[in-house]
Amino acid sequence: MRSQGQVRFIRVSSRLQKRVAAGVVGVALAWVLSIAGMAFWQWHQAPDNAALLKRQAKVETAENRVAAYRKGVGDVAQDLARRQDFIEKMVQAHLGELPKDQRAGETVSNSQSEAAQTVHKISAAIPEAAGLAQMEARQLAFVESLTRYADRKANEDAGRMRRMGINPDVMLAAVGRSEIRGEAMGGPLLPLFTGRDGGLDPRFARLGASLARMSALQLGLSRLPQVLPANLSFLSSGFGYRLDPFTRSGSFHPGLDFRGPIGAPIFAAAPGRITFAARKAGYGNCVEITHADGLITRYAHMSAFRARLGQSVGAGQMIGAIGSTGRSTGPHLHFEVRVHDRAINPRPFLEAIAHVSEENRANPTAND
């Protein structure tokens, strides 16, 4: 080294050189080993990192799905509420307001209190399902109201039958026999509501039974006389014992007599089939209509026939004209109602018809 005209020499021994070289090699080796170690660690941890990332992605997806389902539950509840609104309005338009009160003696369950408690518990435990719980409670209340309506209608019809002298249980059995025989029966198979476990909800089972009873009694009533065969204002002789107009002695009169001019129309009192249309001893020109389950109506003393043997007729259809044929003192219609060939008093049937007519006149839109 030259410094200010002077030359100086530094001598590095071979031993020092070896130490310096060894240090440089050591540092280089340590750096290489650290780089290799980091690379190996990253390679070893790569699968775990990938799995962790996948798990994080799944958790994110599940949370999104849960949020979507929670929102979907609310949408489903709103859809069900709109449908239930439509059903209730449609039923109300056809049947009127359904009864919500429970009368003494009625056996229809009332689950309002129980349903309210259930809604409260579900709303606290699963807030998202509160709408569905409220919808279920509303549906059950509707089913119970509809069951009460069917029971009350059936009881009204049973009362009408009793006033006519007919046992409603006998009528129900007769309708049941008709269904077993398959008389004019059919339609799609509609099984009753079943729960998630495959069992039958007792409230829906009760509704089905009540609707079936109401339908059977209505069907039974439709088979009974429901139209006046002639003008009720001119009733000239009643049912039961009386003085015979020919012998002036006591006799049994098995029907009602409607006085009227010759040629006045005679109508079928109920739908059925003409099973007799000819002269009958004592009755003159006579028509008999067989209805169902042993019920027959008889129309006598006609001046003319307006129906033929074997013809099916509807209630109110003209079947003949008033006359004075047979054992008669003047033009009139002799009308009988027979059940299994036993004469019963037609007056309760006719009074029920007159009562219904008065109700219809008082409420002209009731049957629109």
Domain boundaries, the chain: 56-182+197-222, 232-362
pLDDT at 295: 86
pLDDT at 305: 96
Say how far apart CA 279 and CA 301 lie, in whole Å: 9
Q: Phi/psi zone of residue 294: left (φ > 0), alpha (ψ -120 to 50 degrees), beta?
A: left
pLDDT at 264: 94
pLDDT at 368: 30
Range list of β-strands (E), the chain: 2-3, 6-7, 235-237, 240-243, 250-253, 256-259, 265-267, 272-280, 284-290, 295-305, 312-313, 318-322, 332-339, 342-344
pLDDT at 220: 80
Say how far apart CA 195 and CA 12 lie, in whole Å: 100
Altogether, the residues listed in the chain come to a count of 368
Secondary structure of residue 166 in the 3-state scheme: coil
Secondary structure of residue 258 in the 3-state scheme: strand
pLDDT at 364: 39
At position 121, the amino acid (one-letter code) is K
| Low-confidence residues in the chain, pLDDT < 50 | 180-182, 184, 186-187, 189, 356-368
pLDDT at 186: 47
| Bridge partner list, 334 | 257, 300
pLDDT at 46: 62
Q: Which CATH class is domain 232-362?
A: mainly beta
pLDDT, tens digit (0-9, with 9 covering 90-100), for 250-295: 778 889 999 999 999 999 998 999 999 999 999 999 999 998 777 8
pLDDT at 38: 73
pLDDT, tens digit (0-9, with 9 covering 90-100), for 108-154: 877 777 777 877 787 788 787 788 888 888 888 888 899 999 999 99
pLDDT at 332: 93
pLDDT at 307: 93
pLDDT at 303: 96
pLDDT at 194: 56
